[in-house]
Amino acid sequence: MAALPVEAVDATAALGAAPEPPAAPRSRLLPTVLALLLAVPLLALAHHARPTPYGDHLTVHAGHARGDHAAPRHPTPPPPTALRTRAATLEAYAPRTGTTLWRYTREGRRPLTSLHARGEAITLWDDGMVTDTDGRSVRWHRALPAAAEWLPAQGGTGVLRPLGRGILGVVTPRGVLAYRIADGDLRWVLPAREGCAFEPARAVHHDGALLVAQPCSHAAWTAQLIAVDDLGRVAPHRRPLGNEVVMEGSGSRLEHPNPEKVVAQPR
């Protein structure tokens, strides 16, 4: 009868049952738990300490943020806002009350000029960066070519020019660039004529077009002034440089611009 316990033990081993591991002492688990608890805030702090892209810092005031989340059944147009520059800070404020709605800065940079377009603020900075913000986030950044060669002397006067239908014109001495405001996509580039240079400060809007001075040392006066709109240079029988569909004449045929023609050819 004494052999029965031995046979039971042998059968259990034959079935492959593993013996239970000994319980870990509590003294070993406590340091591990404490280390995990301390790691969580350290990881969060390291995440927030990372440098922001392009040095952006956008501060939205509480009242403005609450208004953004409201969704009335019959929405009304948002109240008008105005832009002002204080030192190196761009601010949006309510003209009636003067209340600041948001502040936008970039580390080590200074805003040169800003304008409202489609309810958003477009800004040219002293490093040649053009930014777009809707007051809740900075939506896109675009760097102007060779800005260090002309921007310090030129400044921001006349560089940013709305062209209508959601297109922003950026006038530089070397050329006129057109960006889609919705996403910052570059739509077309019109280079200055050889031996000439555009003058951003000498540009005016007239009858839906932007007239830009292009002084040349050896050229007729008619070549020293060009007209552009959201589709590119205004000229007879032109093919638009943008991606719009254009109706030709009185017929019903629609002509699509050449999708490969991204850069305007010099005249």
Domain annotation for the chain: domains and CATH numbers: 54-65+79-143 (2.40.10.480), 145-267 (2.40.10.480)
> Residue 98: is its pLDDT beyond 50?
yes
Supply angle C-alpha 263, 265, 149, rounded to 5: 70
SS3 assignment, position 36: helix
Q: What is the pLDDT of residue 252?
A: 33
Q: What is the pLDDT of residue 119?
A: 82
Q: Which residue has the higher pLDDT, 96 or 2?
A: 96
Residue 15: pLDDT band by 50, 70, 90 thresholds? very low
For residue 179, is pLDDT > 80? yes
**pLDDT at residue 8 is higher than 60:** no
Average pLDDT, the chain: 76
Q: How far is CA 81 from CA 75, 78, 121, in A?
A: 17, 9, 10
Res 248 pLDDT > 80: no
Structure tokens at 82: 């105005």
Place of tokens 């609450």: 66
Instruction: Give how far Cα 238 sits from Cα of 232, 233, 246, Å.
Output: 9, 8, 11
Label residue 184 exposed, middle or buried (CB < 10 Å: 0-12, 13-18, 19+).
middle
Share of the chain above pLDDT 70, in %: 62
Output the pLDDT for position 266.
39
222 in Cβ contact with 206 (< 8 Å): no
pLDDT of 14 over the 80 cut: no
Confidence grade of residue 20 (pLDDT, cut at 50, 70, 90): low
Residue 75: per-residue pLDDT: 47
